[in-house]
Amino acid sequence: MAEITQEELNERVAILRRFRSLLEEQRGKFREYLTVLEKQQDSITSENPESLLAHTELEQQVVKNIANLQKVIVPMAKMYKANSSKAVSAAEDADIIKIQNELSDLQDRVLKQNAINRDLLRVHIEQLKTQINNFKNPYKATRNVYATVQPVAQMVHFEA
């Protein structure tokens, strides 16, 4: 097995540290996203549209941050896997695996909470539609006060 130089070792350790920090940052973003979704559920059940709108906007920002972070994590993961067997100790590798497992668990919880919120919103929208359809318009049978009845000619006379 060929020996690696100190510079290669330092580069691999830097990759490991950056990859770990990116995974930890992503884990934090997913925790933030889960918190937003849980608060959004409260807004849905309390029928608070202003709060729901604020949570939806915050949710969009968090999802955008996660997507941007994922763009960096994917190439770092490839670099980590390419170099992991050469420069990573078992403890460091176990730490990375632990963070990745926590991330996977958080992603599952986020998906479940998102499904709960979608179902709650669907039910709430159906209730609103029913309320609107059952709304009785008290002016429906009355004549418009602005429309006046104009006499209409019944015969037309032509002279040649």
pLDDT along the chain (160 residues), means of 10: 74 84 90 89 85 84 86 83 66 81 88 89 89 82 71 77
> Residue 105 corresponds to which tokens in the numbers above?
């668990």
| Structural domain includes residue 146 | no
Which pLDDT does position 43 carry in this prediction?
86
Cα dihedral 51→54→59→62 (10° resolution): -130
| Structural domain includes residue 51 | yes
**Owning domain of residue 122:** 6-134
How far apart (Å, rounded) are the C-alpha atoms in residues 48 and 19?
40
Q: CB under 8 Å to 9, separation ≥6 — which residues?
A: 87
| Structural domain includes residue 23 | yes
| Upper half-sphere CA count for residue 4 (Cβ side, 13 Å) | 13
| Structural domain includes residue 141 | no
Which pLDDT does position 126 carry in this prediction?
92
How far apart (Å, rounded) are the C-alpha atoms in residues 24 and 131?
46
